[in-house]
Amino acid sequence: PKIVVLASGSGTNLQALIEATRERDFPGEIIAVGCNRPGAFALERAAQANIPTFVIDHTKSDSREAFDASLMAELHRHNPDVIVLAGFMRILTPDFVRAFRGRMLNIHPSLLPAYTGLNTHKRVLEAGDKVHGVSIHFVTEELDGGPVIAQSEIAVNPDDTPETLAERVQQQEHMLYPIVLRWFCEGRIQLSANGVQFDGTLL
Ligand code: GRF
């Protein structure tokens, strides 16, 4: 299967996916990396790995719809089997999301459905939660709300700061995303009408 990864920032999740997909037995290939910010370090990571890149600068798009139309055109050019959002900090329009229903994954630094949105580590600390973690889900029209495929939990330590928490969550992200992407490329994960199926069993 052909994979396109979309990123906006440093691209550490992209890096983990590049390294995983390089393994000989990985059942998929990253054919392109797209960014909405020209200076994203994720572009550098892709270039180092000889993966084609494209940039759609959202500050130059006159609307969310126009941005999505440009992104849709790029994706039609590459015709991927799956789109992987890896720190992609854009909210996509419902039409765009519907076009890729069941073929677009996202990673979010919280144990969804808790803490959708931003600044999750700070909010977890403020709430005094004892556990935190990362979720990988199908992207649907609901922001950070799509059906969850997999999660990984970490314990919150009393002396944690948002930074130390983010560090441990990112370690889990870099472990979990390659595993889930492998399962998806092997056809083991499906988004059905009533939820996520793994090997044909509803999660
Ligand atoms: C990750 O923590 C991810 O969960 C969130 O944004 C961050 C992206 O980091 N969506 P990177 O660009 O993959 O390093």
Contacts of 93 (CB under 8 A, 6+ apart): 64, 65, 68
Instruction: Please say whether the beta carbons of 4 and 73 come within 8 A.
Output: no
- In whole numbers, what is the pLDDT of the chain averaged over residues? 96
Q: How far is the CA of 86 from the centre of ligand 1 (A)?
A: 6
108 is known as an active-site residue:
yes
Instruction: Please say whether the beta carbons of 91 and 145 come within 8 A.
Output: no
For the CA of 42, the closest atom of ligand 1 is: 12
Supply the pLDDT for residue 19.
98
Supply the pLDDT for residue 145.
87
Integer angstrom CA distances of residue 8 from 12, 37, 197: 11, 6, 29
Does residue 38 have a cis peptide bond before it, meaning omega lies within 30 degrees of 0?
A: no
CB crowding 135-157: b at 16 or more within 10 Å, else e: bbbbbbeeebebbbbbbbebebe
Supply the pLDDT for residue 143.
85
- pLDDT tens-digit readout, 17-30: 999 999 999 999 99
- pLDDT tens-digit readout, 44-55: 999 999 999 999
Residue type, 187: G
Supply the pLDDT for residue 52.
98
CA nearest neighbour of 32 among 90, 79, 73: 79
Q: How far is the CA of 77 from the centre of ligand 1 (A)?
A: 26
Provide the β-strand partners of residue 201.
Answer: 198
- pLDDT tens-digit readout, 122-173: 999 999 999 999 999 999 998 888 999 999 999 999 999 999 999 999 999 9
Supply the pLDDT for residue 170.
98
* Across 33-47, average pLDDT: 97
Q: One of 58, 76, 108, 174 is an active-site residue; which one?
A: 108
Supply the pLDDT for residue 62.
87
Percentage, residues of the chain above pLDDT 70: 100
